[in-house]
Amino acid sequence: MRAVLHAEWTKLRTVRGWVVALAVAAAAVVGLGLLTGGQGSCGRNGPRSECVLPVGPDGQEVTDHFTFVHRSLTGDGSITVRLNGLTGVLPRKPGLGGPPDSTGPQATEGGTGDGQPGLAPWAKGGLIIKDGTRPGSTYAAIMLTGAHGVRMQHDYVHDRAGPPAPATTPRWLRLTRAGQTITGEESPDGTAWTTVGTVRLPGLPATAQVGTFATSPQFTWILGGGRGVGGAMGGPSEVTATFDNLTGRDTGPDASWSRTEVGGDASPQPEQLGASWRVTGSGDIAPAVSGISGIGTTVSQTLAGTFAGLILVVVVATMTMTAEYRRGMIRTTVAAVPRRGRILLAKATIIGAVTFGLGVLAATVVVVVGGRVLRAHGVYLHPAAPGIEVRLVVGTGLLLAGAAVLALGLGALLRRGLTAVVAGIVVIVLPYLLAMTVLPPEPAKWLLRVTPAAAFAVQQSAVSYPQVDDFPIPVNGYFPLSPWAGLAVLAGWAALVLGLAGFSLRRRDV
Q: Is 273 in the site for other proteins (CB under 8 A)?
A: no
Q: Closest by alpha carbon to 399, among 332, 484, 496?
A: 484
Q: Do 61 and 382 form a contact (C-beta atoms < 8 A)?
A: yes
The residue (of 7 and 495) whose beta carbon lies closer to other proteins is 7
Q: What angle do CA 300, 304, 309 make, to 5 degrees?
A: 125
Which span sits near other proteins by CB under 8 A: 6-14, 74-82, 123-131, 460-468? 6-14
**Which amino acid, 43?**
G
Q: Is 15 in the site for other proteins (CB under 8 A)?
A: yes
Which span sits near other proteins by CB under 8 A: 10-18, 257-265, 410-418, 474-482? 10-18
In the complex, least distance from residue 323 CB atom to other proteins, rounded to whole angstroms: 6
Pick the binder of other proteins from 200, 249, 331, 372 (CB under 8 A).
331
Distance CA 74, CA 51 (A): 34
Q: Is 20 in the site for other proteins (CB under 8 A)?
A: no
- Element containing residue 63 per DSSP (H, E): strand 62-64
Task: Give exposure, 75-111, as e/b (b: 16+ Cβ within 10 Å).
Answer: eebbbbbbbbbbbbbbbbebeeeeeebeebbbebeee
**Which amino acid, 426?**
V
In the complex, least distance from residue 320 CB atom to other proteins, rounded to whole angstroms: 10
Q: Is 394 in the site for other proteins (CB under 8 A)?
A: no
The residue (of 99 and 328) whose beta carbon lies closer to other proteins is 328
The residue (of 15 and 222) whose beta carbon lies closer to other proteins is 15
Pick the binder of other proteins from 44, 93, 134, 339 (CB under 8 A).
339
Bridge pairing between strands 381-382 and 297-298: parallel
The residue (of 332 and 437) whose beta carbon lies closer to other proteins is 332
Q: Is 96 in the site for other proteins (CB under 8 A)?
A: no
Q: Is 17 in the site for other proteins (CB under 8 A)?
A: yes
Q: Closest by alpha carbon to 142, among 207, 192, 211?
A: 211
Q: Is 255 in the site for other proteins (CB under 8 A)?
A: no
Q: What angle do CA 124, 128, 129 make, to 5 degrees?
A: 160
Q: Is 203 in the site for other proteins (CB under 8 A)?
A: no
Pick the binder of other proteins from 47, 270, 328, 387 (CB under 8 A).
328
Pick the binder of other proteins from 180, 256, 332, 482 (CB under 8 A).
332
Q: Where are the alpha helices (DSSP H) in 415-509?
A: 417-428, 430-436, 441-450, 483-507
Distance CA 39, CA 379 (A): 6
In the complex, least distance from residue 224 CB atom to other proteins, rounded to whole angstroms: 51
440 class by beta-carbon count within 10 Å (0-12 exposed, 13-18 middle, 19+ buried)? middle
The residue (of 392 and 407) whose beta carbon lies closer to other proteins is 407
Q: Is 21 in the site for other proteins (CB under 8 A)?
A: no
Contacts to other proteins by CB under 8 A:
3-4, 6-11, 14-17, 323-324, 327-329, 331-339, 509-510
